[in-house]
Structure 1
Amino acid sequence: MDLNFPGLGPATARLDTTHLFSIAAALGWASGLRLYAVVFLTGLAGWLGWVPLPPGLQLLQSPVVLGASALMLSAEFLADKIPLVDSLWDTVHTVIRIPAGAALAAGALGADAGSWQLVAALMGGTLAATAHVAKATTRAAVNTSPEPFSNLGLSLLGDAVVPTMLWLSWTHPGVFFVALAAALVIMAALTLLLFKFVRRLGRTLQDRFGPARASA
């Protein structure tokens, strides 16, 4: 089955349904982990001519957006390597990653996609939220450990997984969906397993910086 969207242009007007939605899903899911990496890498791939970006995503390949996303990517790369700073960064970006993931997923289909664009937006936002919650929960739990190596290892894993999943969505959509399903299962299990550690961290912070401590 193919979807024919006139607004996509000759290079991307006819895309296999699986291929089209794999791109939208990858953009949404990866935004929950590394939003600025997604914006920069997608825009760079379009600017270099590696992939034909749909009109809804072509803004990402403009020099201004590329420059801004490169700066934010650098800041995120560094912040994600520092214990506690990474959790603060995740907290601030709770209100950014999820709507951005929805917008990027919708942009993969374009305005002429009609109701399909809404479906893509809902899917992208849900995947971004799932990835973001799993990442924030896992990193907050890891931050309870005094050693920095697990934090750094998880951060480097995220740096590698995001471009890999984006590449799979463009080149091997079937393989991407298998990998995405496995990632979602792992994320759900980690979120449930480590939630108690996050609650413990919250109680520790409340004991140290709560009103009772401040008044003392």
Structure 2
Amino acid sequence: METLDSVTGLIALTLGVGWASGINLYAAMLTLGLMQRLGYASLPAGLEVLADPLVIAAAGLMYMVEFVADKTPGVDTGWDALHTLVRLPAGALLAAAAVGDVAPAAELAAALVGGGLAAGSHSLKAGGRALINTSPEPFSNWTASISEDVAVIGGLWLALNHPWLFLILLVAFIALLVWLLPRILRGLRAVGRRIAGFFRGRSSPAGDSAARLPDQRP
């Protein structure tokens, strides 16, 4: 039973770091590092570096930057676009590090799954934020950002302390992702069409008048 629990905990942590990295990489690193440093968790050898004071300081600094950027309409979308290049490979690397010193095939498999989960959670976050930004008020951004931070911190705590519950919730998240992501993509396409129509509408009067000029006679 102890072996089963330890394997389940390792799987939950491996999947958890990939999932959390796609939402807020710096919050995930800071949470794991502080939990290890303060004695609330025992991380695998590959993730113990997160408890180094230098890593904690860097993750804390970047988390504060993201905390502000993530709550500013428009800036959050640009930040998410930029971090497509950061969150996905980081999720893969953290997942691979979580499995520790194992066969290369297992490490590669963990990296693939971790990177895939990071890509899924990142896509859901970035797409949802882009739609939220069509609303002029800032409160929905703040609510979404704080909810994401709480989800990352709470999810990693569950992965370390209640892995079975975390895995059940992760399955529910994947089901939500499969259902919600196509709808978000359709919503983004609709917003893009409205924006394109707006600019076409603004440019058409000038184009019509220019087209009528050659037909005019003195």
Q: Shorter chain as normaliser: what TM range?
A: 0.7 to 0.9
Counterpart of 1:170 in structure 2 is 160
Q: Distance in 1 between matches of 2:51 and 2:92?
A: 19
| Aligned-partner SS, 2:86 | helix
Q: Distance in 1 between matches of 2:50 and 2:78?
A: 26
Matches for 1:189-208 after TM superposition, within 5 Å: 189-203=179-193
Counterpart of 1:111 in structure 2 is 101
Counterpart of 1:159 in structure 2 is 149
Q: Are residues 1:88 and 2:85 paired? A: no
Report the TM-score, using the length of structure 2 for normalisation. Answer: 0.85
Q: Structure 2 stretches of 5 or more lacking a match?
A: 208-218
Match of 1:180 among 167, 170, 174: 170
Q: Distance in 2 between matches of 1:2 and 1:120?
A: 22
Q: What is the deviation of 1:15? A: 6.2
Deviations 1:90-134 (A, max 9, x none): 000001101100110111111334322122111100100000001
Larger radius of gyration: 2
Sequence identity of aligned pairs in percent?
A: 43
Q: Which moved more, 1:70-79 or 1:194-203?
A: 194-203
Report the TM-score, using the length of structure 1 for normalisation. Answer: 0.85
Q: What is the deviation of 1:143? A: 0.7
Q: What is the deviation of 1:197? A: 2.2
Counterpart of 2:58 in structure 1 is 68
Q: What is the deviation of 1:205? A: 5.6
Q: Structure 1 stretches of 5 or more lacking a match?
A: 4-13
Deviations 1:150-172 (A, max 9, x none): 22211111011111110111111
RMSD over aligned CA atoms reads 2.4
Q: What is the deviation of 1:208? A: 7.6
Counterpart of 2:131 in structure 1 is 141
Q: Distance in 2 between matches of 1:82 and 1:160?
A: 18
Matches for 1:39-54 after TM superposition, within 5 Å: 39-54=29-44
Aligned residues: 203
